[in-house]
Amino acid sequence: MYSEPEADLIPLRPLPDKGTIGVVAPSSPVEQDRLDRGVAYLQKLGYRVVVGKSCYAKDTYLAGSDALRANDLMHMIDDDSIDAIFCARGGFGCLRILKMLDYELIAEKRKLIVGYSDITALHWAIYAQTGLPGISAGMVASDFGKESVDSYFEKWFWPLVRHGKMQISLPSADLQPKKTMGTALSGTISVASKLLGSEYFPRVSDPIYIFEDVEEPMHKLEGYFQQFVLSGAFDQCEGVVLGSFTPATKESYDEVPTQQEMFNRIFRGVRAPILTGLDYGHIPAKCAVPVGMPMEIEITNNGATLTLAGNPFKS
């Protein structure tokens, strides 16, 4: 049902000061004005930016054909002048290119890929196939392309991307004090659930799932979580951390449970700690979180702390 990473954690190449960032759109088309603002933001920080062909392409709700998007990503991977890859936006489309990627080359080049939302499929597939981690965080057009970049987002983004440092405090967890270690698997649950049963779903013995989503009707959101329950994915996990689940503008049923009621019935019987209150998701003021990296959860009477264990970067 699952895919075992082929190797232990592969260290990522660090993004150097004044380094080069490649920008790609492996999912949906990009708004050009937001892309331009995001690129200008990165350039102002001193980075050289190379924008891929997919950022200027459109094929219905895709940023160009599958071949174009896959080739654009692999070109950035293979080009040794590119230090890291930032995705322009999410949407839909990563699932369509997973079978077209050269995972051996991706593992060899060890490049950091940054993105969230639909990029969940790319992050989880790469980790499942290679053991190479990534960072689930804001994107060039979606976040850096805003008229005013959120300062809280910047506060959490750059320490993790530049230095591999993350320590996040959560409000009182109302749980028994505990310290546990696991492998962070972060992303949008509606995307992650589509990987279940495939070779692109990471199988690790100690997952810590960090989930978020946006505008999903409550019954669909519960369905995505139920897929994880039925698959047994929560049976051996070391923890589940719940970020932001932006409500749907319209529900399909007249009566729906609250999010907390839904979570209570989903996680009833799960032995691992369930933490809430993480500022992660489709919100402006978001944290950056790891994918495929070791992370520690410490729960005390005063709350909980998520800490990245070790530095994921090595030159």
> What confidence tens digit (pLDDT) does each residue in 147-190 have?
999 999 999 999 999 999 999 999 877 899 999 999 999 999 99
**At residue 108, does pLDDT exceed 70?**
yes
Which domains, ranges and CATH numbers included, belong to the chain? 20-148 (3.40.50.10740), 167-308 (3.50.30.60)
Report the candidate in 281, 43, 68 with the shortest Cα–Cα distance to residue 140: 43
State the Cα–Cα distance between residues 166 and 287, nearest whole angstrom.
Answer: 9
Q: What is the pTM of this model?
A: 0.96
What local confidence, expressed as pLDDT, does residue 98 receive? 98
What is the per-residue pLDDT for 9?
82
Q: 236 by DSSP, 3-state: which?
A: coil
> Looking at residue 93, what is its pLDDT?
98
Dig out the tokens for 113 from the structure. 């890929």
Q: In what helix (H) or strand (E) does residue 208 lie, and over which residues does it extend?
A: strand 207-216
Q: At what angle do helices 218-231 and 259-266 cross, to 10 degrees?
A: 10
* DSSP per-residue letters across 57-98: --BTTBSS-HHHHHHHHHHHHH-TT--EEEES--SS-HHHHG
Strand partners, 242: 211
Strand 178-188 with 293-300, pairing: antiparallel
Residue 290, pLDDT score: 98
Residue with token string 């690790």: 204
For 303, other C-beta atoms within 10 Å of its C-beta total 16
Average pLDDT over residues 48-72: 98
Contact between residue 213 and residue 281 where contact means Cβ atoms under 8 Å apart: yes
Nearest to 184 by CA among 163, 211, 212, 209: 209
Q: Is the pLDDT of residue 1 over 70?
A: no
Q: Are 246 and 283 in contact (CB under 8 A)?
A: yes
Residues in the chain: 315
Q: SS3 letters for 28-41?
A: CCCCHHHHHHHHHH
Mean pLDDT over each residue of the chain, to the nearest integer: 96
| Band of residue 315 on the pLDDT scale cut at 50, 70, 90 | very high
Query: Which own/partner pairs from 146-149 qualify as long-range (CB within 8 Å, at least 24 positions apart)?
Result: 146/34, 146/37, 146/284, 147/37, 149/41
Phi-psi region of 310 (alpha: psi -120 to 50; beta: other; left: phi over 0): left
The per-residue pLDDT for range 21-33, each reduced to its tens digit, is 999 999 999 999 9
The whole-angstrom separation of Cα 315 and Cα 16 is 10
SS3 state at 191: helix
The torsion defined by the Cα of 59, 113, 226 and 214, in degrees rounded to 10, comes to -60
Q: Give Dmax (Cα) for the chain.
A: 55
How does residue 46 score in pLDDT terms, banded at 50, 70 and 90?
Answer: very high
Q: What is the mean pLDDT of residues 269-290?
A: 97
Show the tokens assigned to 92.
């839909």
The residue among 130, 178, 202 whose CA lies nearest residue 296 is 178
Of 211, 214, 188, nearest to 278 by C-alpha is: 211
Bridge partners, residue 178, by sequence: 299
The per-residue pLDDT for 7 is: 45
Give the whole-angstrom CA distance, residue 74 versus residue 27: 14
3: confidence class by pLDDT, cuts 50, 70, 90: low
300, 273 Cβ separation under 8 angstroms: no
CA-nearest of 199, 3, 164, 4 to 84 is 164
